[in-house]
Structure 1
Amino acid sequence: MHRMQHLTYFFHLSDFALKANIEQSIPALYETLCGVRVTLTGDPVSPEDATLIIMNHRTRFDWLFIFSYIIRCGPLRRFKISLKEVLKNVPGPGWAMQCAGYIFLHRKWESDQKTILRCLTYFRKLNYKPQILLFPEGTDLTPNTKARSDKFAEKMGLEKYDYVLHPRTTGFAFLVQKMRDIISLDSILDVTIAYPKNIPQTEKDILNGNFPTEVHFYIHGHSAKEVPDDKEGIEEWCQKRWKDKENLLENYYTDGKKFKASPVRKELCKDEKEIQKLFVFAHIFWTIFQALVIVFMIYAPILRWFSLFSCITFVLISKYGGIDALLDTEASELR
């Protein structure tokens, strides 16, 4: 069997396992055990679309909380996140994200172009319509990053923002154009995230139990046809969306900490009872799974050897570029 067929089969199995177990357990954990309440407003796009999701980056954990939206209104199995490249080397979660087809970026434009092309080409070979989350700001909002954004605004003659950072439009424009060329981009989902209180900025906040009591999302879907075709037009479109976000968040934080929009229509999301059943299943599955792992690790030496072999394999694969670097694609022909 051709190597790509092996990889395709492997990725399908890994992605299905991630969808059914790990990813649905993420919102199950913070919603049911940590008491985080999620409010969705606006209009999502069709879960069948090939979609680019763009979101402001308020904290390091925005990607975590968007799973509450995806599990209710999106295709969990086809949801992909663009992340910093270093995260692929995190033992366990980083390896799982590699198997799930997440996109890891170095923040170096020459290498990131190749990574994006390789991943999109692979999705096309699978006849796969991903929904990819991108943070155009490139980093989360902190005093230091805001100062850099303000400096950039002064240099370019732009307005300074208080609630968002100026987006890096080059990568956004490239991803839009290549998604159009390679996998037929259907829509862009503009997501604005806000926290009424208890904003966890760092890992220390999470470890100290400083979860937000609520997370609010404003969701606005755009057809890909609304976005210009040329690079300059795409960049300008993105800049306008961030200006809108600044105004939206200013109104949010100064006027009651609520988005002035209707809740997402029930027919566009899964039934909440179904969601709660998925959460219960996730808790039961992982409780049993962890208990079995402990038992077998104690009484089954072969499992200990297999675990060691798997860890060494993933460490080596990650060292030499990760699972995504093994993909046999013609990405270079599409540059």
Structure 2
Amino acid sequence: MDQMIWLWQLYAVFLYERICGVKAVITGDVVYDDECELIIMNHRTRFDWLFVFSYQIRCGSLRHFKISLKEILKNVPGPGWAMQCAGYLFLHRNWEHDKSTISKCFMYFKKLNYKPQILLFPEGTDLTPRTKAKSDKFAQDNGVEPYKYVLHPRTRGFKYFVEQMRDVNLFDSIIDVTVGYPVNIPQNESDILKGDFPKEVHFYIKRHKALDIPLSEENVDIWCQKVWKEKEERLKKFYQDKKFDVKDNKIQLKDESEIQSLFKFANIFWSIFQISTFILLIYAPIIRWFALLSISIFVFISKFGGIQVLLDCELENAKHYM
């Protein structure tokens, strides 16, 4: 499943970079594609998770890339089912339920000796007038500075991610990604459907080694708040200059010719796959029945908790035999 998701992500990047003309500009620290990482990023639009593929393919491991998402998205026909199979983390905004989900996912990764690189949006939602008003009210109620370019982070989930990654020894670094859109910011799905893609997406990367992250929950909270304050200042300058400061740029990008070759491969693979599937659905009754059965199974499974339920059963069996 990782291979199929990887190929789909490659195809998505190919479509919006080569067909829609989106350019990714990446600056900052050196990162490593073989580490267990918690990637934290400001949430400027609903499509940050999509455009970050451009960073991940050039600096991290796209095969091991996972995303923490709102639970409702797992029920989206097709993409939601694929993300369930890929091991994405779906959160309910119910703390007791989400604690269990996060713990079980990391136990599962540990059981597989898997090195995930997980994207988490500590702000919890994208920046809009409505969410900014809520963030400003939070700032006023707590006597802290209101932000213009980011929302105040919700640190409880972030702290628990750090704690669980430490507990299962799957924690090498935190990658702090600041994303900015110098021209044309597509806020929601309607913008994308109208072809309103950004001309450029800029990523500024700061790598923090796991050993440099505080141990106590209180200090992790303070650390996250400090990172977000720095992010606010960085974005303030970015939207003045339309670029991030690159005087200390150390980033090492993968060979672009290899990436372009991967784009070609993904394009050929999915073109053949889609055409073949279309022909088989028309002329092969067994394929139509298989497609109907698969859809029915995913609808049923999603109604009762999704692929996560199967993961829970596997972990319970593993405990039983330990």
RMSD: 1.4
Which residue of the partner structure matches residue 296 of structure 1?
280
| Cα distance between partner residues in 1 of 2:215 and 2:70 | 28
Verify: 1:121 aligned to 2:107, yes or no: yes
> What is the identity, as a one-letter code, of the residue corresponding to 1:299?
Y
| Cα distance between partner residues in 2 of 1:259 and 1:237 | 22
Aligned partner of 2:254 among 270, 275, 289: 270
Which residue of the partner structure matches residue 319 of structure 1?
303
| Cα distance between partner residues in 1 of 2:290 and 2:152 | 47
| Cα distance between partner residues in 2 of 1:263 and 1:99 | 39
Which residue of the partner structure matches residue 175 of structure 2?
189
> CA shift at 1:193, angstroms?
0.2
| Cα distance between partner residues in 2 of 1:226 and 1:196 | 32
TM-score (norm 1): 0.92
Which residue of the partner structure matches residue 86 of structure 2?
100
Which residue of the partner structure matches residue 260 of structure 1?
245
Distance 1:264 1:90, change over 3 A: farther
> What is the identity, as a one-letter code, of the residue corresponding to 2:260?
Q
Please give the secondary structure, in 1, of the residue aligned with 2:67: strand
| Cα distance between partner residues in 2 of 1:45 and 1:178 | 22
What per-residue deviation string (whole Å, max 9, x for no partner) do you get for residues 232-288 of structure 1? Answer: 01011000000000000001112x21100259657x332000111111112121111
Which residue of the partner structure matches residue 64 of structure 1?
50
Aligned partner of 1:52 among 26, 34, 38: 38
Distance 1:264 1:32, change over 3 A: farther
Please give the secondary structure, in 1, of the residue aligned with 2:315: coil
Please give the secondary structure, in 1, of the residue aligned with 2:69: strand
Please give the secondary structure, in 1, of the residue aligned with 2:203: strand
Aligned partner of 2:267 among 258, 262, 283: 283
| Cα distance between partner residues in 1 of 2:36 and 2:75 | 28
| Cα distance between partner residues in 1 of 2:193 and 2:253 | 31
8 A contact 2:110–2:170 mirrored in 1: no
> CA shift at 1:107, angstroms?
1.1
Verify: 1:152 aligned to 2:141, yes or no: no
Which residue of the partner structure matches residue 234 of structure 1?
220
Distance 1:182 1:18, change over 3 A: same
Which residue of the partner structure matches residue 9 of structure 1?
none
> What is the identity, as a one-letter code, of the residue corresponding to 1:295?
I
Verify: 1:16 aligned to 2:3, yes or no: yes
> CA shift at 1:179, angstroms?
0.5
Which residue of the partner structure matches residue 3 of structure 1?
none
Distance 1:222 1:312, change over 3 A: same
Moved over 6 A (4+): none
What per-residue deviation string (whole Å, max 9, x for no partner) do you get for residues 149-202 of structure 1? Answer: 000001111000000000000110011011100133110000000001110001
Which residue of the partner structure matches residue 177 of structure 1?
163
8 A contact 1:120–1:183 mirrored in 2: no
Which 10-residue stretch deviates more, 165-174 or 256-265? Answer: 256-265
8 A contact 2:38–2:119 mirrored in 1: yes
8 A contact 1:106–1:112 mirrored in 2: yes
TM-score (norm 2): 0.95
Which residue of the partner structure matches residue 116 of structure 2?
130
**Structure 2 gaps, min length 5:** none
Aligned partner of 1:205 among 186, 191, 200: 191
Alignment of 1:320-335 (within 5 A): 320-327=304-311, 328-329=314-315
Please give the secondary structure, in 1, of the residue aligned with 2:168: helix
8 A contact 2:177–2:204 mirrored in 1: yes
Which residue of the partner structure matches residue 215 of structure 1?
201
| Cα distance between partner residues in 1 of 2:83 and 2:30 | 25
**Structure 1 gaps, min length 5:** 1-13
